[in-house]
């Protein structure tokens, strides 16, 4: 955006998009392509704390599969959003390539290798198997191979991979390069990009009529789309505190880009399955000898661009152990920290809000970069009054989607903690068995539910957060009690969950 700074800020537009991450820019591009009038994108060019600028941008729906991905109707619908998004990328890259500003291809890796090593407990094995089942169910290509044959892959012997599969059609894009290319294409098409923040949404008689920028400048708009990532919820609240939104939490992620100083480079994405509260350990080639190592995930109380020393250690140590021991000598050229927009039920929030003229698109958590072109298509349709291309279940004012019972949630939480326990090399007394460690986590989890006093089965990441944050626990309890009536903990029997909203 800084390439041609805007001197004259517009006073009017047909559509104002608040947020210049992947969702905002892809939407602007789609609207311009359809000739939907004047489009203004507002967002600071530094994008600090945003998710897109920190993303590994793996286009990986199958590489992301977990045992939960296809277990319920709702989860399957969400999963298929990723599958459909994947089909959009060849055309997206074809149109963006000529606007690339980095001198490197936007498709930074054409394929992925998923490795199963022994460090991450049963959860890894289960998710690996779930991935193979999903690939077969959807008729996607994959091939089992010898982990030694993966270019660049050179883990330490004690964390060597036991199995590996090649996913020939799932790669990754250069997130930062794609954002730059989108900005250039938007400039070329005549969309206005304002390098500032929106202070508040402006409304009159229950209709959103525009936005006010940080410097007080007003832009009138026919429609305002809020696509400001984790900042979206607070922005929407500037128009009314009463809008009944699913709560969102910042999922702080840390990653780094390093320059390789020796050994064979990675030529594909190499990753573990999704594991222990996070998206698995991965390396994504960036071209020019650069490699992206990611990523941590920690739900936090407030949005921040500052990462924890523990997360730096985690990523550096496990990248060296599990991906390439020569990484110890690589030069870190960029630290990346971003906040994933995480909703209470884990599903995106895409749809119109009650004050007319206001649309929300956020809550994409781990794969918003990948899904952005498809979501842009959907939102453009909705803005044109046409049928959308994704399921309406993601409406932001829905009741929280139920995919697990409390008992299921407790078991899942135990599995994730065990995975974390073994991956981090936590020490127990020598006579302590895995079953005893599991029992310890189970007891803690039951206590957490008793304290929360809710009957809604939370995802392991949200539960982990609620346990460690008074503020988080209070927010979750207040929201769920007002939405699910009463609040006595019930439904403690193991169930398969349901995909229905309640
Ligand atoms: C470390 C990490 C790794 C990830 N890896 C992947 C991956 O491999 N694949 C994948 O698909 N996804 C990945 N994700 C998730 C993905 O980045 C997000 O789902 C997606 O980028 C969200 O895009 P967004 O546009 O909604 O939000 P953001 O990227 O957060 O963009 C919101 C923008 O709004 C701007 N903004 C905020 N407040 C205001 C305001 N008041 N006025 C104007 N503008 C404002 C911000 O500056 C920001 O640029 C990763 C995320 C992280 C953090």
Residue 88 near residue 377, CB atoms below 8 Å:
yes
| Exposed / middle / buried, residue 427 (Cβ in 10 Å: 0-12, 13-18, 19+) | exposed
Gap from CA of 140 to ligand 1 centroid (Å): 28
Query: What pLDDT sits at residue 7?
Result: 57
Residue 54 near residue 78, CB atoms below 8 Å:
no
Query: What pLDDT sits at residue 3?
Result: 55
- Interface confidence (ipTM) of the complex: 0.99
Query: What pLDDT sits at residue 426?
Result: 85
**Residue where the block lists tokens 């995802």:** 459
Torsion angles phi and psi, residue 115, rounded to 5: -110, 145
Residue 186 near residue 122, CB atoms below 8 Å:
no
Residues 6 or more apart in contact with residue 210 via CB below 8 angstroms: 16, 201, 202, 218, 219, 220, 221, 224
Residue 449 near residue 406, CB atoms below 8 Å:
yes
SS3 (DSSP) at 371: helix
Q: Measuring CA to CA, how many Å separate 350 from each of 32, 388, 434, 436?
A: 20, 11, 41, 42
pLDDT along the chain (502 residues), means of 10: 64 98 98 98 97 96 95 97 97 97 95 93 93 98 98 95 97 98 98 98 96 98 98 97 95 97 96 84 96 96 93 94 96 97 98 96 97 98 97 95 97 93 85 94 96 96 96 97 62 37 32
Gap from CA of 51 to ligand 1 centroid (Å): 3
| Domains of the chain, CATH where assigned | 2-52+176-246+345-394 (3.50.50.60), 106-171+249-343 (3.30.9.10), 406-484 (no CATH)
Gap from CA of 289 to ligand 1 centroid (Å): 25
Nearest CA to ligand 1 atom 4: 55
DSSP string, 53-67: GG---B--TTTT--T
Whole-number Å distance between alpha carbons of 89 and 138:
18
- Looking from the CA of residue 24, the nearest atom of ligand 1 is 25
Torsion angles phi and psi, residue 117, rounded to 5: -110, 180
Which residue from 167, 114, 93, 67 is spatially nearest to 283, judged by alpha carbons? 114
Whole-number Å distance between alpha carbons of 289 and 45:
26
- Looking from the CA of residue 46, the nearest atom of ligand 1 is 47
- Residues having CB closer than 6 A to ligand 1 are 18-24, 42-44, 47, 50-52, 54-58, 197-198, 227-229, 231, 235, 253, 255, 294-295, 338, 340-341, 362, 364-370
SS3 (DSSP) at 182: helix
DSSP string, 222-269: EEEEE--GGGHHHHHHTT-TT--PPPEEEEEEEEEEEE--SSPPP-SE
Please calculate the CA angle 224-225-230 and round it to the nearest 5 degrees: 130
Whole-number Å distance between alpha carbons of 279 and 500:
25
Gap from CA of 49 to ligand 1 centroid (Å): 8
481: tokens are: 């009690």
Residues 6 or more apart in contact with residue 366 via CB below 8 angstroms: 64, 251, 279, 297, 340
With b for 16 or more beta-carbon neighbours within 10 A and e for fewer, the 105-118 pattern comes to ebbbbbebbbbbbe
Torsion angles phi and psi, residue 366, rounded to 5: -95, -15
Query: What pLDDT sits at residue 494?
Result: 35
Query: What pLDDT sits at residue 8?
Result: 79
Query: What pLDDT sits at residue 424?
Result: 84
Gap from CA of 146 to ligand 1 centroid (Å): 35
Gap from CA of 119 to ligand 1 centroid (Å): 30
């Amino acid at each position: 955006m800084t390439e041609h700074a805007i001197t004259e800020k517009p006073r009017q537009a047909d559509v104002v998009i608040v947020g210049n991450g992947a969702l905002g820019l892809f939407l602007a591009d789609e609207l311009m392509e359809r000739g939907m009038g004047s489009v203004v994108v507002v967002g600071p060019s530094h994008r600090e704390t945003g998710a897109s600028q920190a993303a590994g941008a793996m286009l990986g729906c199958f590489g992301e599969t977990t045992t939960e991905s296809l277990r319920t109707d709702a989860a399957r619908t969400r999963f298929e959003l990723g599958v459909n998004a994947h089909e959009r990328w060849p055309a997206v890259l074809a149109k963006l390539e000529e606007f690339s500003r980095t001198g490197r291809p936007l498709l930074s890796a054409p394929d992925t290798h998923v490795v199963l090593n022994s460090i991450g407990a049963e959860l890894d094995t289960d998710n690996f198997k779930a991935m193979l089942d999903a690939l077969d169910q959807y008729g996607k290509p994959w091939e089992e191979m010898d982990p030694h044959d993966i270019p660049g892959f050179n883990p330490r012997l004690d964390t060597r991979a036991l199995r590996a599969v090649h996913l020939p059609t799932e790669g990754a894009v250069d997130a930062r390069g794609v954002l730059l290319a989108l900005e250039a294409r938007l400039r070329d098409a005549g969309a206005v990009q304002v390098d500032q923040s929106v202070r508040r949404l402006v409304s009159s008689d229950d209709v959103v009529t525009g936005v006010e920028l940080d410097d007080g400048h007003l832009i009138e708009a026919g429609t305002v789309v809020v696509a400001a990532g984790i900042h979206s919820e607070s922005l929407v609240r500037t128009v009314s505190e009463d809008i009944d939104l699913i709560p969102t939490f910042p999922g702080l992620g840390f990653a780094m880009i390093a320059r390789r100083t020796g050994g064979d480079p990675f030529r594909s994405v190499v990753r573990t399955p999704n594991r222990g509260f996070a998206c698995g350990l991965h390396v994504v080639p960036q071209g020019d000898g650069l490699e992206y190592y990611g990523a941590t995930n920690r739900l936090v109380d407030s949005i921040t661009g500052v990462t924890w020393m523990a997360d730096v250690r985690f990523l550096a140590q496990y990248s060296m152990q599990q991906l390439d021991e020569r990484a110890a000598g690589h030069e870190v050229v960029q630290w990346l920290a971003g906040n994933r927009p995480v909703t209470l039920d884990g599903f995106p929030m895409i749809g119109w809000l009650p004050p007319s003229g206001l649309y929300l698109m956020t809550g994409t958590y781990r794969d918003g970069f990948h899904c952005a072109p498809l979501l842009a298509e959907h939102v453009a349709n909705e803005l044109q009054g046409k049928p959308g291309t994704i399921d309406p279940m993601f409406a932001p004012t829905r009741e929280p989607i139920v995919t697990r019972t409390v008992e299921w949630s407790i078991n899942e939480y135990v599995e994730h903690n065990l995975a974390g326990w073994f991956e981090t090399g936590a020490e127990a007394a020598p006579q302590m068995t895995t079953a005893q460690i599991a029992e310890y986590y189970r007891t803690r989890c039951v206590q957490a539910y008793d304290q929360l006093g809710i009957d809604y089965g939370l995802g392991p990441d949200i539960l982990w957060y609620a346990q460690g944050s008074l503020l988080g626990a209070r927010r979750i309890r207040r929201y769920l009690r007002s939405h699910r009536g009463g609040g006595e903990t019930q439904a403690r029997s193991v169930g398969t969950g349901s995909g229905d909203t309640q």
